[in-house]
Amino acid sequence: MRLLRAGITLAGFLLIWGLITAILGLPKFLLPSPLIVAEALLTHASLIADNAMTTAIEILVGLILGVLFGMVSALLISAYRPVKQWVFPLLIASQAIPVFAIAPLLVLWLGYGMAPKIVMSLLIIYFPVTVGFLDGLNRTEPVWLNLAGLLQQSGRTGRFRKLVNLYLYIKIPFALPSLASGIRVAAAIAPIGAVVGEWVGASSGLGYLMLHANARVQTDLMFASLLVLTAMALLIYYLIDALLLRALPWLSTHNNNTTQ
């Protein structure tokens, strides 16, 4: 049903787009029709595919690293009060810095390769994952925390071991739905970091291709690259969503209720 809705929405969008270009008689350098964009997509298929591969690698590597760093940061902030007092305000303040202000510095420091784009994706992904997971860790039911405290009083394990058990068996399982929500948000916005980095400085990638196509007034190629980027973003999101539902099957009931 979800795929059918997406197909109907896409068909309606293409129909409206085609009608606008036909009725207004817009030149193709201003707004090409869907047919012209499809022709450009076929003509430059090899070029677009090569650049799409670069962007896909940047997005996926940034997504993996961003999720890992976000999870570790959330655990440290939740478990240790000094980390929360010193690091969490810096985490919030970092979101006031525009992405475009960081991108040139990363290119200057890391060069024109994939590294600055991966770091850009990581920085954008890091915040929603950290905050989502941290919120889930802090919302553990007090009843379970009290029960864990009573059980741990009867044992002779050390303080660190008790903390590990608390998070491993109580807090982390209860925080997984919030972590899944953060990862979904991260998957949706992951392409932003890679493309912004490619706009600032790159030698390949869909952002690089769109920038150069725009400079040469190849609007059809720019739209074709944008459509491929959109399709890639949707594919990554739904792949992550499917993996999360497979790993956390109890989330499927909630998702079905919200999408109906």
**Residue at 136 is within a domain:** yes
Do 119 and 236 lie in one domain? The reply is yes
Same domain, 9 and 79: no
Shared-domain flag, residues 67 and 189: yes
Quote the pLDDT of residue 75: 94
Does residue 259 surpass a pLDDT of 50? no
Instruction: Specify which of 4-18, 138-152, 157-171, 231-245 reaches the highest per-range mean pLDDT.
Output: 231-245
**Whether 2 and 41 share a structural domain:** no
Residue 135 pLDDT greater than 90, yes or no: yes
- Higher-pLDDT residue of 36 and 93 is 36
Residue 76 lies inside a defined structural domain of this protein: yes
Query: What is the number of structural domains in the chain?
Result: 2
pLDDT, tens digit, 9 for 90 and up, residues 219-254:
999 999 999 999 999 899 989 998 998 888 876 655
Assigned domain for 83 exists: yes
State whether 48 and 64 are in the same domain: yes
| Mean pLDDT confidence for 131-156 | 73
- Top-confidence residue, 175 or 4: 175
In this structure, of 5-9, 30-34, 125-129, 185-189, the range with the lowest mean pLDDT score is: 5-9
Task: Select the more confidently predicted residue: 154 or 225.
Answer: 225
Q: Is the pLDDT of residue 257 over 70?
A: no
What is the pLDDT, as a whole number, of residue 55? 95
**Minimum mean pLDDT range among 67-71, 134-138, 155-159, 252-256:** 252-256
Same domain, 182 and 205: yes
> Which string of DSSP letters, residue by residue, matches the chain?
-HHHHHHHHHHHHHHHHHHHHHHHT--TTTS--HHHHHHHHHHTHHHHHHHHHHHHHHHHHHHHHHHHHHHHHHHHHHH-HHHHHHHHHHHHHHTTS-HHHHHHHHHHHH-SSSHHHHHHHHHHHHHHHHHHHHHHHHT--HHHHHHHHHHHHTS---HHHHHHHHIIIIIHHHHHHHHHHHHHHHHHHHHHHHHHHHHHS-SSSHHHHHHHHHHTT-HHHHHHHHHHHHHHHHHHHHHHHHHHHHHSTTHHHHHHHHH-
In a domain, 119, yes or no: yes
Output the domain CATH number for residue 97: 1.10.3720.10
Same domain, 3 and 92: no
Shared domain check, 7 and 109: no
The pTM assigned to this predicted structure is 0.86
Per-chain mean pLDDT for the chain: 86
Residues 6 and 89 in one domain: no
Residues 208 and 117 in one domain: yes
Same domain assignment for residues 64 and 6: no
Residue 254 resides in a domain:
no
pLDDT at 88 over 70: yes
| Domain membership of residue 10 as a residue range | 1-31
Residue 255 placed within a domain? no
So what's the pLDDT on residue 134? Answer: 94
> Is the confidence at residue 149, as pLDDT, over 80?
no
The verdict on residue 235 lying in a domain is yes
Residue 260 counted as domain residue: no
My answer on whether 102 and 185 are in the same domain is yes
